[in-house]
């Protein structure tokens, strides 16, 4: 028999090579390559019969409500039967708590099973008691993959949570639990078991320091849905985000607050994050769109003189490249002298903004800090800032204005062409300079020059 080549795979990024390297060529991590056992060759399979798509009879995807409204929203209306969902998050962010809460409420409607590889049965029971009682959750403390799959095939629960996929161990493979080959094998086998036996399976995965679900990015391709649980341990707010969803929209978010009794959903995050103190310098409110959900968020900025040759632009919750661009446009087209100043920008509540619709509010916060003038009371800004200093209408402006209206905003500073609303004044601005004049108190030219609509 021909000798099979030994393969080395990186535990961080999945890069594989025929020889060992001290530093992974894929992700530059040191000492992360481990030897993978070669798989034995299999006989060539026989060809399979084909089907026409029109002949396939399919039911509407059956959804199981999780009983946690914010989780349902992120999943696109509930957990789809026989789907495989990956929940990633940093240690201690509350993954086990969230899923135990979901299992508790799902246990009243069907059979649910928790496979715990990290915590003992007694530990899980303590947490369940703290969250309000263990209900009818069935539990198995097991890390051996074959045993887990065999149990699932025999018991066929409606929902199964595996906490965590990194603890599962397939005996046939030589590598340690948590390595790329182990996690890939576990996810592949569980995918087959989930689909064949109609078990909706939720895998918990740890994330690395870079934010990727540990090691195996390969997992993200295998599963139907990838949810990221974000937030830091020092803030009580957590955000659940859909990164990939085969059954619903991505970029949906759910907001939670961590309390002693577990995670409490925050159905209206705008109330919490979208308020500024009247007259505060360096604060502005943005209306950003997260998936289909408009949220009002406070953006804070500090502009401080610096002796550094290269002034700092520090962003928390905003893309640093986007911040550098907004600072440059503010200097060049809105007359703000930022060349000898450090600029810091922060998004309230530890949230992260990924969309260009927040540009205008970031610029407004920076301008407020730079000029020492507060933003007008009850003002919200949204719109994309272009490199020429001209503003572009933000996507789904009507939705954003609806949210502003609900929260009693009196003036929205937005690009020209934004649809108007009856109960809210929209100061349409063509350029960034106009928008800053409309949004800041005590600017030389006040709102009337912007032709605000009543
Ligand atoms: N008695 C308590 N009162 C309030 N909050 C608590 C209590 N016990 C735990 N927590 C919160 O729950 C968090 C841990 O939650 P959980 O164990 O669900 O996280 P995890 O993401 O599963 O962590 P790991 O990655 O270690 O499994 C803690 O960081 C803490 O904020
Ligand atoms: Mg846990």
d(CA 355, CA 378): 22
In terms of DSSP H, where are the helices of 334-406? 359-371, 397-406
Would residue 14 be called left, alpha or beta, if left means φ above 0 and alpha means ψ between -120 and 50 degrees?
Answer: left
User: From the CA of 365, how far away is ligand 2's center (Å)?
Assistant: 38
Would the pLDDT of 96 be above 90?
A: yes
Residue 453 has pLDDT above 60, yes or no: no
Question: Nearest bound ligand to CA 100?
Answer: 1
Is pLDDT of 1 > 60? no
Ligand showing the shortest atom-to-Cα distance for residue 229: 1
Is the pLDDT at 230 greater than 60? The verdict is yes
Mean pLDDT of the chain: 86
Distance from residue 228's CA to the centre of ligand 2 (Å): 14
Supply the pLDDT for residue 60.
65
Torsion of CA 313, 213, 289, 356, to 10 degrees: 40
Query: Rounded to an integer, what distance in angstroms lies between the CA atom of residue 70 and that of residue 64?
Result: 14
Tell me what pLDDT residue 95 has.
92
**Residue 234, ligand 1, Cβ within 6 A:** no
Cα 87 from Cα 225, distance rounded (Å):
8
**Distance from Cα 413 to the centre of ligand 2, integer Å:** 44
Integer angstrom CA distances of residue 104 from 95, 161, 253, 304, 367: 14, 12, 22, 50, 49
Q: Which secondary-structure segment (H or E) carries 305?
A: strand 293-305
Whole-number Å distance, alpha carbon 452 to ligand 1 midpoint, is: 49
- The long-range contacts involving 324-329, CB below 8 angstroms and separated by at least 24 positions, are 325/385, 325/387, 326/359, 326/362, 326/363, 326/366, 326/385, 327/366, 329/363, 329/385, 329/386, 329/387, 329/389, 329/432
Helix (H) or strand (E) holding 390: none
Q: Ligand 2 centre from 102 Cα, in Å?
A: 14
The predicted model gives 136-164 an average pLDDT of 93
Is 97 close to ligand 1, i.e. is its CB under 6 Å away?
yes
The yes-or-no verdict on residue 211 having pLDDT over 60 is no
Q: H or E element: which one contains 288?
A: strand 283-290
Residues with CB under 5 A from ligand 2 (ion): 96
Q: Output the pLDDT for position 412.
A: 93
Q: Is the pLDDT of residue 151 over 70?
A: yes
* Dist CA 416 CA 395 (whole Å): 13
Across-strand partners of 384?
392
- What is the Å distance from ligand 2's center to 96 Cα? 4
228 in contact with ligand 1, CB cutoff 6 A: no
Decide if 189 contacts 170 (C-beta within 8 A): yes
Q: Residue 207: what pLDDT?
A: 77
Band of pLDDT at residue 284, cut at 50, 70 and 90: very high
Name the residue at shortest CA distance from atom 25 of ligand 1.
Answer: 91
> What gap in Å lies between CA 14 and CA 184, rounded to an integer?
10
Q: Could you report the per-residue pLDDT of 362-399, keeping only the tens digit for each?
A: 999 999 999 999 999 889 999 999 999 999 999 889 88
Q: Is any atom of ligand 1 closer than 6 Å to the C-beta of 116?
A: no
Give the ligand 1 atom nearest the CA of 91: 25
**Closest ligand by atom to 128 CA:** 1
Concatenated DSSP letters for 395-450? Answer: TTHHHHHHHHHHTT--EEEEETTPPPBTTBEEEEESBHHHHHHHHBTT-SS-GGGG
* Ligand 1 contacts CB of residue 117 (under 6 A): no
% residues pLDDT > 70 (the chain): 91
User: Whats the size of the chain, residue-wise?
Assistant: 454
Cα–chain-centroid distance for residue 283? 25
Report the residue among 86, 89, 91, 92 best suited for mutation to probe ligand 1: largest number of ligand atoms under 8 A from its CB. Answer: 92
**Phi, then psi, of 313 in degrees rounded to 5:** -125, 100
Q: Give the closest ligand to the alpha carbon of residue 91.
A: 1
Percent of the chain with pLDDT over 90: 47
Strand 7-10 with 16-17, pairing: antiparallel
Residue 214 tokens read as 């540990």
- The answer to whether residues 79 and 200 touch, using CB atoms and an 8 Å cutoff, is yes
Strands (E), 15-91: 16-17, 33-36, 63-64, 79-80, 84-89
pLDDT band at 261 (very low <50, low <70, confident <90, very high): confident
360 SS3 class: helix
287 vs 236, residue with greater confidence: 287
- Beta partners for residue 161, in sequence order: 114, 202
Ligand 1 pocket residue status of 231, Cβ below 6 Å: no
The C-alpha atoms of residue 92 and residue 95 are separated, in whole angstroms, by: 7
Is 47's pLDDT higher than 80?
Answer: yes
Which of the four pLDDT bands, split at 50, 70 and 90, describes residue 452? very low
């Amino acid at each position: 028999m021909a000798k099979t080549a030994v393969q080395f795979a990186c535990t961080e990024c999945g890069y594989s090579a025929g020889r060992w390297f001290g530093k992974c060529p894929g992700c530059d991590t040191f000492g992360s390559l481990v030897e993978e056992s070669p798989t034995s060759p299999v006989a060539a399979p026989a060809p399979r019969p084909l089907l026409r798509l029109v002949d396939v009879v399919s039911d509407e995807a059956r959804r199981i409500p999780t009983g946690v409204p914010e989780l349902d929203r992120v999943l696109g209306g509930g957990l789809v039967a026989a789907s495989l969902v990956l929940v990633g998050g940093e240690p201690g962010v509350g993954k086990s708590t969230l899923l135990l809460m979901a299992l508790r409420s799902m246990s009243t409607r069907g059979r649910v099973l928790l496979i715990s590889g990290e915590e003992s049965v007694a530990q899980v029971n303590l947490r369940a008691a703290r969250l309000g009682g263990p209900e009818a959750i069935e539990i198995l403390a097991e890390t051996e993959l074959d045993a887990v799959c065999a149990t699932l095939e025999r018991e066929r629960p409606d929902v199964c949570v595996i906490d965590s996929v990194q603890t599962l161990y397939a005996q046939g493979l030589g590598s340690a639990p948590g390595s790329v080959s182990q996690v890939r094998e576990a996810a592949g086998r569980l995918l087959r078991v989930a689909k064949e036996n109609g078990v909706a399976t939720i895998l918990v995965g740890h994330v690395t320091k870079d934010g990727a679900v540990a090691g195996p990015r390969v997992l993200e391709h295998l599963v139907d849905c990838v949810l990221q649980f974000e937030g830091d341990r020092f803030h009580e707010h957590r955000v659940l985000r859909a990164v990939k969803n085969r059954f619903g929209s991505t970029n949906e978010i759910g907001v939670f607050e961590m309390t002693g009794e577990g995670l409490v959903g925050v159905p209206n995050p705008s109330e919490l994050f979208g308020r500024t103190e009247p007259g505060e310098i360096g604060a502005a409110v943005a209306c950003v769109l997260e998936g289909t959900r408009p949220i009002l968020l406070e953006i804070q900025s500090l502009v401080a003189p610096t002796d550094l040759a290269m002034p700092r632009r520090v962003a928390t919750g905003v893309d640093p490249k986007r911040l550098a661009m907004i600072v440059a446009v503010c200097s060049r087209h809105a007359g703000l002298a930022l060349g000898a100043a450090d600029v810091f920008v922060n998004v309230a509540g530890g949230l992260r903004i990924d969309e260009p619709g927040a540009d205008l509010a970031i610029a407004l916060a920076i301008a407020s800090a730079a000029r020492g003038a507060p933003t007008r009371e009850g003002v919200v800004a949204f719109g994309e800032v272009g490199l020429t200093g001209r503003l572009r209408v933000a996507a789904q402006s009507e939705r954003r204005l609806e949210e502003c209206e609900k929260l009693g905003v009196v003036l929205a500073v937005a690009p020209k062409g934004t649809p108007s609303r009856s109960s809210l004044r929209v100061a349409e601005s063509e350029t960034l300079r106009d928008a800053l004049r409309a949004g800041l108190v005590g600017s030389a030219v006040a709102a009337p020059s912007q032709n605000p609509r009543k």
